[in-house]
Chain A
Amino acid sequence: MARAAVPGRLTWRAATLAESRPETATARTLVLDVPDWPGHLPGQHVDVRLTAPDGYRAQRSYSIASAWSERGRVELTIQRLDDGEVSPYLTDVLEVGDQIEVRGPVGGWFVWREAQPQPVLLIGGGSGVVPLMAMVRARGQSRAKQPFRMIYSVRTPDDVIYREELPRRVRDDPGFDLLLNYTRRAPDGWPGTPKRIDVATINSHGWPPDFTPDVYVCGPTTFVETAADILVALGHDPKRIRTERFGGTS
């Protein structure tokens, strides 16, 4: 017998793929219709659950990429991991009209709230840019005035997710700046050579610690730890640094 849902308790609900967009050769944005979606804060995520015909279930947590709007749609950007169990299905197999189960929004720590008055520094590695993009979109949507800086590290120019929207927002969203950092191959004519983010990157393109910015770092574990260590060494208050790490969410 099905148990009645307790009000306010987190439950699974059906989501229908309304449309999708390729972002890179290996990343795809899913636009999901989720009836009665309660809304979300930028930085929150959802759990996605797939059930095979034989009843086998797999569950993963994905960051929400979109800012909340009245349309009730939720966008997830999924990076395909070739040996993954869930992500290749979401990037390559799921078709418009198909349903998956989602639970959320969840997570109240790695979130940005418009009421936070401080400038914001976003540091993303690879698909770690996804929850940061939700913050940039939310800021743009509400025309918030807090200045945002984003440092986004990718391997090559082909790996840049939101490659058209990010430069457009730099142009159209006052107070939003972006530094793209390339670790393996930079575009032709790029000043400097490819390298991982280091003290100079964050010192030159972040905010001075005196500005007491709220800092959000998301990416693979080693990336997050490196960036967090640099921030603390530069004098940023650890209490203002929020991190989200993923190794290989498959």
Chain B
Amino acid sequence: MMELDGNAMAGDLGEIFAFDVTAAQYTCAGCGRAEAIGALMLWGQQMGRVARCPHCDDVVLSLVRAPGRVFLDLRGAVRLELPLAGS
């Protein structure tokens, strides 16, 4: 069962990136719609997460943790739109 959404990935993504990825807009490779990363539907557990587009259910990204490293797969996002500081 789905428990959470992309907002809950903010901590894990914040470990990797200097900016807040959950506020970014992705464009879905499946349906072409743009949506906030925070609105993704999140499946899985801490060690491995899959985030799906709320509009078409396609996998947008996955995040897998291993000792000392993390694997980020962004296959379902053809584009990320990021707000710049001060805007």
The chain A residues found within 8 Å of chain B, CB to CB, are 8-10, 45-47, 58-59, 61, 103-104, 106-110, 221, 242-249
Contacts and interface: CB of A to CB of B under 8 A. Distances in A.
B23 A108 contact: yes
B14 A245 contact: no
B11 to A, nearest CB: 4
Nearest to A10: B14
Contacts of B1: 247-248
The 10 closest A-B pairs by CB, nearest first: A109-B38, A106-B10, A108-B20, A247-B3, A47-B11, A108-B23, A10-B14, A107-B10, A61-B8, A109-B23
Interface string B62-85: 000000000000000000000000
A104 B9 CA distance: 12
B4 interface: yes
Given A109-B20, A109-B39, 19 more contacts: A8-B18, A10-B11, A10-B14, A61-B4, A103-B15, A106-B14, A106-B20, A106-B22, A107-B7, A108-B10, A110-B7, A110-B38, A221-B3, A242-B36, A242-B39, A245-B4, A246-B4, A247-B2, A248-B1
Contact of A249 (B3, B15, B23, B36): B3
B15 A9 contact: yes
Nearest to B39: A243
Contacts of B7: 45, 61, 107, 109-110, 244
17 contacts: A9-B15, A45-B8, A45-B10, A103-B14, A103-B15, A106-B22, A107-B7, A107-B20, A109-B6, A109-B7, A109-B20, A109-B22, A109-B39, A242-B36, A243-B5, A245-B5, A246-B5
A248 B8 CA distance: 13
Interface in B29-48: 36-39, 46
Given A107-B22, A109-B23, A246 B11 contact: no
B20 A59 contact: no
A58 B45 CA distance: 10
Question: Interface residues of B: mostly helix, strand, loop or mixed?
Answer: helix
A161 to B, nearest CB: 19
Nearest to A247: B3
B73 to A, nearest CB: 21
Contacts of A47: 11
A58 B38 CA distance: 22
A108 B22 contact: yes
B83 to A, nearest CB: 8
Contacts of B46: 58-59
A58 B39 CA distance: 24
Contacts of A221: 2-3
Contacts of A8: 18
A249 B22 CA distance: 19
Contacts of B10: 45, 61, 106-108
Nearest to B1: A247
